[in-house]
A and B are shown apart, each in its own frame.
Chain A
């Protein structure tokens, strides 16, 4: 058995796919795949730094997609969960997939396959939640601005939804936790990083960065939310099941409850 190697990549999805390419191509006995800012030297393995190579990444992407559409989206979603050690799980998953005669019939009684599928489902749920719970606030320079702090790195996944829907307004969705955002300038969406002095949660304090009518619309929305309630049907348990408390700070209709 040849000595095992730890592959270190730049943290991007393309970087990860490149690592997979290199591992297959050079028949490396992979000990681990690590992000360069978190890499620890394994006691008994060598490290090899992977340089992200879009063409190589594409070949892996296409190879997997030709096997199974479902698998490629599972892999991408699970990767964005940023779960520690997910890279190695994904690598094993890809190996199994490539060996399987028919990608469609991946065996869900296999623990890796099940784990990745479950992880992907969790990320998918977070994606849907963000599509629902993003609350834009209109800034003075006419940009619809929203903060999010999702459990997983879902900005790349929600970009298309917002671009398709809000095609005629400038918008910016900023991930406070991961310190980057996506900005749509009426033409295309780009990644941006900002230095936000002040995180614009839906705080009760008003910020003068926002248009004057912004707070009026928030008040109207809060009023509206209150009036949808039918007191004789109240059911708090069902309510928090749908809107978990950790999301409340973004929702202007929940301002008073935070």
Chain B
């Protein structure tokens, strides 16, 4: 190993890969085969955390940052003046294996700039994964990026070795895509997604009949959207997300607050604040859609094209729909309980169990872990104390905000003061 050269490449190619925020290493059921190296942990393991608190579980690098395209939001784009480098297939394999053996990582997340052609690039990514699986008997986690425009054959092969595949849609609207990534067509993204979806469906149905059907992307596919680069509304983002979840059976959609990396009149200037609060609100909305039984039209619609920044989306929905409340904790059905602000899904389950034994009062709710500072305005329970005043939404919101210390409070209050 030429250490200095590898070091130089790693610095360039890890730096260029860090804007992809998906880091999940969970959801795969790969076990250690024939006394080889590694296995996938169902829950995923974070081996370290970045200074901004994100999980480090995979070696996340680009194969190369040479690129023939010029997407405006991307550090790797052709016209950007940055040092370029390219790993050899074997070098990525060696790095992965050596990091893995030292218990630094759960596996590899390999992406790439597009050199020569999409297929040419995809072929190399597949070659790395294949080598890891077949020559090194490596059973750790592999996430490969599907290169937009790659052929069905290569996407099929990729799924045989990878645990997860992803194409980042990056720009949530087709008009934004035209503006910011003029070289790419919408179909370039959706075609590989479609292929991967079909193969996963095939794999899952065949596996029911033939136990040892070769695995195909057991951890599914995901995508990422950049938030705050192209003037899109929250509604635009979440409607696209919903579309991708439904149409392509996405396991996850990631939302990544745009980090300005370039001077370009089409984009926010370097130094503008990364919209982390907005990113957080989008994740909360995503959560409500996937696990809490909300439909997208309830949370975002023509009248409310953007999420509230000062309160979370569930509270915001409740404040707009006070006629559903108060809910009786001891009687309300599960679907309704899940809609009460301050009550998470875990608490809902605990409430359902506990109320079989006794009627629940405020004390019980507190022990269960309900955030009463929010929930109290929306429920009645086994107590003669409850909110009797006929408060309107503004009053309730004011009282809740007075008593809350969200993790983004600072950011929010500086944002507020900007408007004063």
Contacts and interface: CB of A to CB of B under 8 A. Distances in A.
B258 to A, nearest CB: 10
B361 interface: no
- The interface size bin for chain A is 35 or more
A226 to B, nearest CB: 9
A225 to B, nearest CB: 6
B36 interface: yes
Contacts of A21: none
B38 A232 contact: no
Contacts of B55: 242
B321 interface: no
Interface in B22-72: 31-32, 35-39, 45-56, 59-60
A239 B18 contact: no
A231 B98 CA distance: 27
Contact of B38 (A128, A165, A219, A253): A165
Name A's interface SS.
helix
B311 to A, nearest CB: 21
Nearest to B33: A167
Contact of A238 (B1, B15, B52): B52
A211 to B, nearest CB: 11
Interface in A113-143: 128, 131-138
B81 to A, nearest CB: 19
Interface stretch (B3-11, B163-171, B186-194): B3-11
Given A135-B104, A217-B102, A242 B7 contact: no
Interface in A215-255: 216-217, 219-221, 223-225, 227-230, 232-236, 238-239, 241-243, 251, 253
Contacts of A128: 45
A134 B48 CA distance: 11
Name B's interface SS.
loop
A235 B53 contact: yes
A168 B37 contact: yes
A4 to B, nearest CB: 35
A233 B276 contact: yes
Contact of A230 (B39, B98, B103, B259): B259
Among B35, B47, B274, max chain A CB count under 10 A is at B47
A169 interface: yes
A228 B102 contact: no
Interface string B329-361: 000000000000000000000000000000000
B259 A132 contact: no
A138 B102 contact: yes
B14 interface: yes
Contacts of A132: 45-48
Given A224-B59, A225-B56, A233 B11 contact: no
Among B6, B18, B56, B102, max chain A CB count under 10 A is at B102
B10 A166 contact: no
Given A223-B7, A243-B48, A135 B102 contact: yes
A167 B6 CA distance: 28
A172 interface: no
B19 interface: yes
Contact of A221 (B51, B99, B257): B99
B103 A135 contact: yes
B101 interface: yes
Given A225-B56, A227-B15, A234 B51 contact: yes
A60 interface: no
Contacts of B6: 220
Nearest to B95: A220
12 contacts: A133-B48, A135-B104, A144-B101, A146-B103, A167-B32, A167-B37, A220-B10, A239-B50, A239-B52, A239-B53, A241-B53, A253-B48
Interface of A: 128, 131-138, 144, 146, 164-169, 213, 216-217, 219-221, 223-225, 227-230, 232-236, 238-239, 241-243, 251, 253
| Cβ-closest 3 pairs across A and B | A238-B53, A233-B52, A242-B49
Interface of B: 1, 3, 6-7, 10-11, 14-15, 18-19, 31-32, 35-39, 45-56, 59-60, 95, 98-99, 101-104, 137, 257, 259, 273-274, 276, 407
Given A230-B50, A236-B51, A253-B48, 13 more contacts: A136-B101, A144-B101, A146-B103, A164-B39, A165-B37, A167-B36, A168-B35, A219-B3, A225-B48, A227-B14, A229-B18, A230-B274, A238-B407
